[in-house]
């Protein structure tokens, strides 16, 4: 209820006014009782309606475009506005004055929170990612298990190694998604290995996609969750579309919409407060994979729930990330719709020797007792930690080919992990 209506009704019953009247008015207006008492005091002085804002500045579409061309730099936007003011063309951008930088920040934050999308221009020739180093060329992913539950070696696609040397974009094209769903394993000569843990993820995701439901894949960092989910969707029939989105760090709703637009192949800005365009894109049976879902707040997860609940949506939703189960648990509406909760476990000691020997030949002659001791004291079944240890062991053997992989060498490699393996 508007402030003017509330104040006028309270003034009309001035002689009978009580705390109960104010409490009811506060509930109807959606404000606190203290606010209503303040409104009433100002109304008695003749100010029934709210004061107009002294600062009514807003960014026109032209200024919003200039902000995008400036890369989202507010200070640069103000410099360009000052220059336009000097040349007498500021009014052509829909502004009569140049506000302060704090005012610009506040207005831009307000517009972004309201769902306005900022299309930031990127300089030509700029590529995301960094060229790999000599010890950072092997990108691997986990596959399936064999019939008896042991690890398998999955050969890299032809030309994948050359593609990785050519940079991230080449790896994504020739490596059939190794970059997208893989993880840096820090050592040349590594092979793609699969484990029981990945087989469990493949089964869970496959069932979820078939049932067109929701799945939450969670577990500690470094256990291969994202890689396993990527392997699972790669094993789906080729006719099943897969849309991949990654949650940014502390994203707001506009950033989530932009990520979904990119994943679904929609024009930037196509998603507004309504879920219609995404619902049409998800009408085809497929799977939407959202990685790092633990970064999403309950309102953002509820937005995903609205997309999935939209009439005609036939897609499955897979949420993946370390701690994603806690994030989803805080969004009760989404939590109740999750069909499958799957926790990715650590490498078991019985799997260790066979898996690592297939992962890299440097472990072929290692003592199983030494490896079990390292796993107990340092790696604790974490595949990413073992990949780091493998990198240091490999580098030491390259420096001194006559040196054997023994306890002393492995302990030297573990010492390089520091306090946070």
Which contiguous run of DSSP H or E holds residue 216?
strand 214-218
* pLDDT averaged per 10 residues in sequence order, the chain, 421 residues: 80 85 81 86 82 66 84 85 88 85 84 66 41 34 37 45 31 28 67 80 91 93 88 83 88 86 79 60 85 92 87 89 92 92 89 85 88 89 89 90 88 86 71
Answer for the pair 317, 282: CB distance below 8 angstroms, yes or no: no
pLDDT of residue 258: 85
pLDDT of residue 119: 66
pLDDT of residue 51: 63
Q: Which tokens hold the place of 123?
A: 């300089």
Q: Determine the 3-state secondary structure of 130 from DSSP.
A: coil
pLDDT of residue 340: 94
pLDDT of residue 165: 28
pLDDT of residue 5: 82
Q: Which residues contact 285 (CB under 8 A, 6 or more apart)?
A: 212, 240, 314, 315
Give the global pTM. Answer: 0.57
Answer for the pair 385, 414: CB distance below 8 angstroms, yes or no: no
Q: Are strands 242-246 and 192-194 parallel, antiparallel or unpaired?
A: unpaired
pLDDT of residue 214: 95
pLDDT of residue 35: 86
Q: In 114-252, which ranges are continuous DSSP H helix?
A: 160-165, 168-174, 178-181, 196-211, 225-234
CA dist 219 and 231 (Å) reads 17
Q: In 336-382, which ranges are continuous DSSP H helix?
A: 349-359, 368-374
- Residue 19 sits at the vertex; the CA angle it makes with 17 and 21, to the nearest 5 degrees, is 60
pLDDT of residue 334: 92
pLDDT of residue 133: 35
pLDDT of residue 317: 94
CA dist 388 and 406 (Å) reads 17
Q: Which residues contact 33 (CB under 8 A, 6 or more apart)?
A: 19, 22, 23, 26
CA dist 248 and 347 (Å) reads 29
Quick one: CATH architecture of 197-343? Answer: 3-Layer(aba) Sandwich (3.40)
Full DSSP string of 19-72:
HHHHHHHHHHHTS-HHHHHHHHHHHHTT--SPPPPS------HHHHHHHHHTTT
39 by Cβ neighbours in 10 Å (0-12 / 13-18 / 19+) ranks as buried
pLDDT of residue 325: 93
pLDDT of residue 337: 93
Boundaries of every domain in the chain? 3-44, 61-113, 197-343, 349-415
CA dist 238 and 233 (Å) reads 10
Q: Determine the 3-state secondary structure of 347 from DSSP.
A: coil
Full DSSP string of 89-100:
-GGGGT-SS---
The maximal CA–CA distance of the chain, rounded, in angstroms, is: 100
Which contiguous run of DSSP H or E holds residue 113?
helix 101-113
Q: What is the 3-state secondary structure (H, E, C) of 387-420?
A: HHHHHHHHHHHHHCCCCCCCHHHHHHHHHCCCCC
Q: Which tokens hold the place of 36?
A: 């209503």
Q: Which tokens hold the place of 301?
A: 């997860």
pLDDT of residue 329: 92
Q: In 235-365, which ranges are continuous DSSP H helix?
A: 253-264, 276-281, 298-309, 324-330, 332-335, 349-359
């Amino acid at each position: 209820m508007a402030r003017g209506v509330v104040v006028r009704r309270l003034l009309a019953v001035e002689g009978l006014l009580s705390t109960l009247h104010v409490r009811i008015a506060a509930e109807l207006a959606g404000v606190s009782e203290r606010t209503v008492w303040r409104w009433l005091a100002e109304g008695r002085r003749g100010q029934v309606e709210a004061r107009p804002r002294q600062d009514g500045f807003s960014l026109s579409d032209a200024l919003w475009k200039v902000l995008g061309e400036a890369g989202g730099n507010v200070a640069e936007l103000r410099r360009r506005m000052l220059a336009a003011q000097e040349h007498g063309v500021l009014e052509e951008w829909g502004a009569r004055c140049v506000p302060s930088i704090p005012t610009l920040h506040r207005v831009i934050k307000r517009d972004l929170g309201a769902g306005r999308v900022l299309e930031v221009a990127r300089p030509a020739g700029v590529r995301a990612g960094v060229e790999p180093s000599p010890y950072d060329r092997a990108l691997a992913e986990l596959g399936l298990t064999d019939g008896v539950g042991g690890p398998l070696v999955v050969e890299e696609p032809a030309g994948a190694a050359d593609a990785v040397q050519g940079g991230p974009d080449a790896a994504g094209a020739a490596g059939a998604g190794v970059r997208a769903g893989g993880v840096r394993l820090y050592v040349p000569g590594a092979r793609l290995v699969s484990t029981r843990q990945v087989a469990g993820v493949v089964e869970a995701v496959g069932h979820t996609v078939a049932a067109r439901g929701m799945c939450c894949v969670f577990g500690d960092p470094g256990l291969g969750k994202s890689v396993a989910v990527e392997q699972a969707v790669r094993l789906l029939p080729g006719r099943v579309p897969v849309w991949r989105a990654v949650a940014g760090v502390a994203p707001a709703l506009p950033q989530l919409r932009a990520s979904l637009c990119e994943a679904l192949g929609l024009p930037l800005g196509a998603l507004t407060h309504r879920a219609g365009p995404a619902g049409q894109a998800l009408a085809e049976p497929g799977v939407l994979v959202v990685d790092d879902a633990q970064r999403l707040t309950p309102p953002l997860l509820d937005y995903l729930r609205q997309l999935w609940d939209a009439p005609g949506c036939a897609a499955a939703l897979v949420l993946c990330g370390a701690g994603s189960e806690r994030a989803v648990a805080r969004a009760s509406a989404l939590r109740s719709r999750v069909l499958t909760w799957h926790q990715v476990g650590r490498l078991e000691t019985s799997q260790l020797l066979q898996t690592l020997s297939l992962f890299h030949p440097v472990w072929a002659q290692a003592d199983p007792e030494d490896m079990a001791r390292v796993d107990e004291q340092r790696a604790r079944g974490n595949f990413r930690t073992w990949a780091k240890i493998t990198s240091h062991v490999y580098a030491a053997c390259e420096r001194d080919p006559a040196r054997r992989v023994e306890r002393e060498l492995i302990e030297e490699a573990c010492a390089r992990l520091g306090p946070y393996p």
